[in-house]
Chains A and B, each alone.
Chain A
Amino acid sequence: DAGITQSPRYKITETGRQVTLMCHQTWSHSYMFWYRQDLGHGLRLIYYSAAADITDKGEVPDGYVVSRSKTENFPLTLESATRSQTSVYFCASTEGQGFDLYFGPGTRLTVT
């Protein structure tokens, strides 16, 4: 199916563990993004990527690592999860400014 998918949809992990959230889009969009959504903060940009092998930090990058070896995939890794990283994570993609930004369904991550 065409679109943007995220996995897992729900994840519970312990403090200190490494966690990777997956994002896959089928449109070959150039730009991909990771946002986190927290009550009272709306969506905050963690990292974004303009193309394969090109990534850049957003507003809240600390504690996260991204890679983009293929255009269609943009995994987000929490190197050592902390409770403050409990959140809903959204991946998004677009062809560029003026084009629609499409969101995945989100991953709800709980760090205990």
Chain B
Amino acid sequence: GEDVEQSLFLSVREGDSSVINCTYTDSSSTYLYWYKQEPGAGLQLLTYIFSNMDMKQDQRLTVLLNKKDKHLSLRIADTQTGDSAIYFCAESMGNTGKLIFGQGTTLQVKP
């Protein structure tokens, strides 16, 4: 069945780069997403990548997609304390807009 896996926790120092990894199972997923959740809030879309792309860059965010290994990563350059949050990877299922989410990676940024 569909499954999205992420590591649960990542700790970095302010100013360092953060890399959050994700693996997914459905090779037919058209879009793959990264969402951010701050404490007590809903999820906010950070970025997404179309499945025929290998990389997408958006300011401090870089998304890498390895379709062969079904591996997605999110790199945050110059990580700030405001980047501390839970980051969710998600894959799209069919054309319904339905997303399957990973467990979320808690990013802790130390000053």
Contacts and interface: CB of A to CB of B under 8 A. Distances in A.
Interface majority SS on B: helix, strand, loop or mixed?
Answer: strand
Contact of B88 (A31, A43, A45): A43
A42 B101 contact: yes
Given A33-B98, A43-B88, A43-B101, A97 B42 contact: no
A109 B81 CA distance: 30
Contacts of A35: 101
Contacts of A97: 30-31, 92, 94-97
A20 B33 CA distance: 30
Contacts of B44: 103
A98 to B, nearest CB: 6
A101 B45 contact: yes
Interface string A70-112: 0000000000000000000010101111111111111000000
B97 A31 contact: yes
A31 B42 contact: no
B43 interface: yes
A103 B72 CA distance: 22
A42 B98 contact: no
A103 B42 contact: yes
A94 B97 contact: yes
B64 interface: no
A41 B44 CA distance: 18
Contacts of A105: 41-42
Given A97-B31, A103-B43, A105-B42, A50 B96 contact: yes
Contacts of B96: 31, 48, 50, 96-97
Contacts of A98: 30-31
Interface of A: 30-31, 33, 35, 40-45, 48, 50, 58, 90, 92, 94-106
Q: What 8 A-B pairs come out closest when comparing CB atoms?
A: A103-B42, A42-B103, A43-B101, A31-B97, A94-B97, A103-B43, A97-B95, A42-B101
Given A50-B96, A100-B45, 5 more contacts: A48-B98, A96-B95, A98-B30, A103-B44, A106-B42
